[in-house]
């Protein structure tokens, strides 16, 4: 038998799919949003934008903006007791 693929988007059918009315490109305003350092943000993955997408395991987490890196933002979150830093584009962030 062939070994099952366990890629980055495995087990993500429900999370990385949009409702029928929301399918297609996202609005340009989501890419142009500006966040200040220290602001609280929710990580909500937009499946129509592949660039700057965090790993699926971080979908739904809330973190704080630590800084900017190019067009992306550096977001600090806590997973259990471990602090982690993620580099995420603004299309995958919402104020929270």
Side by side, the strands of the sheet bearing 93-95 are 82-88, 72-79, 62-69, 40-43, 93-95
What tens-digit pLDDT sequence spans the chain (96 residues)? 899 999 888 999 998 999 999 999 888 999 999 999 999 999 999 999 999 999 999 999 999 999 999 999 999 999 999 999 999 999 999 998
Give the distance, in angstroms, between the CA of residue 92 and the centroid of all CA atoms in the same chain: 4
- What are the extents of the domains in the chain? 37-95
What confidence score (pLDDT) does residue 60 get?
A: 95
* 37-95: CATH, from 3.40.50.360, 3.40.1620.10, 2.30.30.70, 3.20.20.450: 2.30.30.70
Q: By CB neighbour count within 10 A (0-12 exposed, 13-18 middle, 19+ buried), where does 20 fall?
A: exposed
What confidence score (pLDDT) does residue 31 get?
A: 92
Is there a contact between 53 and 12 (Cβ–Cβ < 8 Å)?
no
């Amino acid at each position: 038998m062939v070994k099952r693929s366990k890629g980055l988007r495995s087990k993500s059918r429900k999370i990385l799919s949009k409702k029928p009315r929301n399918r297609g490109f996202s609005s340009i305003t989501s890419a142009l949003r500006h966040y200040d350092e220290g602001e609280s943000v929710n990580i909500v993955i937009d499946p129509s934008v592949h660039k700057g997408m965090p790993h699926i395991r971080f979908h739904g987490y809330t973190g704080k903006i630590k800084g900017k890196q190019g067009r992306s933002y550096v977001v600090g979150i806590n997973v259990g007791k471990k602090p982690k830093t993620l580099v995420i584009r603004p299309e995958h962030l919402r104020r929270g």
